[in-house]
Amino acid sequence: MNTALRQWLWPVVVAIVALVIGLCAGLAVDTDRSDAVAAPVATAVDVGFAQDMSAHHQQAMMMCDLVPGDAAPDVRGLVAQIRGAQWREIGQMMGWLQMLGAPLQGAQPMSWMGDAGHRHSGETGQMPGMAGGEELTALHAATGLGSEILFLQLMIRHHQGGIDMAGHASRTAANPEIRRAAVAMVKSQSDEIAVMTVMLNQRGGQALPYPV
């Protein structure tokens, strides 16, 4: 290769090498930026709410499963609505806990609600509005109109407890996504209580006292 050709090629080679290095550096910066995802914001309230509300929802699903298949169409429709909504929310809350690296169950239920949580849980870890073992047994044994009335009574009280929990989280959780979800739970469960109250009155039933 003659001298003139070498002199012409050398700047071209240098330019190409510089371009490749620049592209590699740019890709490295972009990769660093994509990998540097901020850790989710969370406090004991965020974690405790997700843990306890998941357990609270699981009992609602159990209560729905205890409604007999020959229940009235409006009750069956309500059961399907509650089951679908709470199943989605359980998945959402378990997803939060996985992202936060937190266990699915808390060691001290309701401690995230402070004094209010202690009043509800007492020594047994009972969450607000939850049905007791004898009530669940009675729901399992009930049939006909009695089954519908008892289901509506227990689910209204259950939703009232869920609203207390979600309302506290909507005011005190650190993660904005969790706060928004808690607000949505308060709204949806309040709407369902209104519907269930009408259904209960139509059947001659009365709401159970709350809080338990």
Q: How far does Cα 137 stand from its chain's mean position? A: 27
CATH no., domain 44-202: 1.20.1260.10
Question: What is the token pair recorded at 126?
Answer: 């009972």
Our CA angle for 7, 8, 13, nearest 5°, is 95
- Write down the pLDDT at residue 119: 57
Please state whether the predicted TM-score (pTM) of the whole model is above 0.85: no
How many angstroms separate the CA atoms of 61 and 80, rounded? 10
Task: Show pLDDT as tens, one digit a residue, over the chain (212 residues).
Answer: 444 434 434 443 434 433 333 434 343 334 343 343 445 678 999 999 999 999 999 999 999 999 999 999 999 999 999 999 999 999 999 999 999 999 999 989 999 998 765 555 544 457 999 999 999 999 999 999 999 999 999 999 999 999 999 999 999 999 999 999 999 999 999 999 999 999 999 999 999 999 86
- Write down the pLDDT at residue 42: 85
In the chain, domain spans:
1-37, 44-202
- Write down the pLDDT at residue 115: 73
